[in-house]
A and B are shown apart, each in its own frame.
Chain A
Amino acid sequence: MSLLEVSGLEAGYETGQILFGIDLAIEEGEAVGLLGRNGAGKTTTMRAIMGADLPRIIDGSIRYRDAELLDRKSYDRADQGISFVPEERQLFPRLTVTENVHIAASAAEDPLPAEEMFDLFPELDEMRDRHAKNMSGGEQQMLAIARALVSNPDLMLLDEPCEGLAPQIVERLEDVVTRINDERGVTVLIVEQNVATAMAVADRHYILDEGRIVEEVTTDRLREDDELRQRHLGV
Chain B
Amino acid sequence: MSVATLASTPDELPSIPWLLAGLALLAVVIVTLAVRPQLFISNLVGGLVYGMILMMIALGLSLILGLLGVVNFAHGALFMLGAYGAYQTVALFELPFWLALVVVPIGVGLLGVLMEVTVLRRLYGEDPLIGLLATFGVALMLEEATRAQWGGTPLSFDPPAVLRASVQVGFLEIATTRLFTAAVGALVVGGLYVLMYRTDFGLSIRAGLQDQQMAEFLGIDIPKRFTIVFFIGAAIAGLSGVLRGAEVGMDLGMGMDFVILAFVVIVVGGLGSIFGSVVSALLIGVAVFVTPVMLRAATTVAGLEWLYVSGIGGLMPFLVMIGVLLVRPRGLFGEEGLLE
Physical contact A–B (CB less than 8 Å): yes
> What is A's interface to B at a CB cutoff of 8 Å?
50, 52-53, 73-75, 78-79, 83-84, 86, 90-95, 99, 102-104, 106-108, 147, 151
24 A/B residue pairs, CB under 8 Å, sorted by A = A50-B217, A74-B217, A75-B216, A75-B217, A75-B219, A78-B217, A78-B218, A84-B217, A86-B214, A86-B217, A90-B211, A92-B207, A94-B206, A94-B210, A95-B203, A95-B206, A99-B203, A103-B204, A103-B218, A104-B219, A106-B200, A106-B203, A107-B204, A147-B218
**Is B196 interfacial (CB 8 A cutoff)?**
no
Interface SS majority for chain B: helix
| Shortest distance between the CB of B287 and any CB in chain A (Å) | 30
Chain A residues with Cβ under 8 A from B125's Cβ?
A: 53
Whether A90 contacts B220 in the complex (CB less than 8 A), given A103-B207, A106-B204, A107-B204, comes out as no
Chain B residues with Cβ under 8 A from A78's Cβ?
A: 216-219
Would A107 and B220 count as touching, CB distance under 8 A? yes
- What does the 1/0 interface line of B185-218 toward A look like (CB < 8 Å)? 0000000000000001001101100110111111
CA distance A35 to B206 in the complex (A): 35
Closest to B201 in A: A106
Chain B residues with Cβ under 8 A from A92's Cβ?
A: 206-207, 210-211, 214-215
Closest to B204 in A: A103
Chain B residues with Cβ under 8 A from A104's Cβ?
A: 218-219
Closest to B217 in A: A84
Given B206, B210, B213, B218, which contacts A107 in the complex, CB threshold below 8 Å? Answer: B218
Chain B residues with Cβ under 8 A from A151's Cβ?
A: 218-219
**Contact-residue bracket for chain B:** 10 to 19
Given A53, A79, A102, which contacts B219 in the complex, CB threshold below 8 Å? Answer: A79
Closest to A54 in B: B213
CA distance A195 to B203 in the complex (A): 38
What's the A-B contact tally at a CB cutoff of 8 Å?
69
CA distance A185 to B207 in the complex (A): 29
Whether A75 contacts B213 in the complex (CB less than 8 A), given A53-B125, A99-B203, A102-B203, comes out as no
5 closest A-B pairs by beta carbon, nearest first, are A78-B219, A107-B219, A90-B214, A106-B200, A92-B210
| Shortest distance between the CB of B66 and any CB in chain A (Å) | 11
Whether A53 contacts B206 in the complex (CB less than 8 A), given A75-B221, A106-B200, comes out as no
**Is B222 interfacial (CB 8 A cutoff)?**
yes
CA distance A91 to B210 in the complex (A): 9
Q: Which residues 203-244 of B have a CB within 8 angstroms of A? A: 203-204, 206-207, 210-211, 213-222
Would B216 and A74 count as touching, CB distance under 8 A? yes
| Shortest distance between the CB of B220 and any CB in chain A (Å) | 5
Chain A residues with Cβ under 8 A from B210's Cβ?
A: 92-95
Would A53 and B213 count as touching, CB distance under 8 A? yes
Closest to B219 in A: A78
CA distance A94 to B222 in the complex (A): 18
| Shortest distance between the CB of A92 and any CB in chain B (Å) | 5
Closest to B222 in A: A75
- List 12 extra interface pairs beyond A75-B218, A95-B210, A102-B203, CB under 8 A: A75-B221, A78-B219, A83-B217, A84-B217, A92-B206, A93-B210, A94-B206, A94-B210, A99-B203, A103-B218, A107-B220, A151-B219
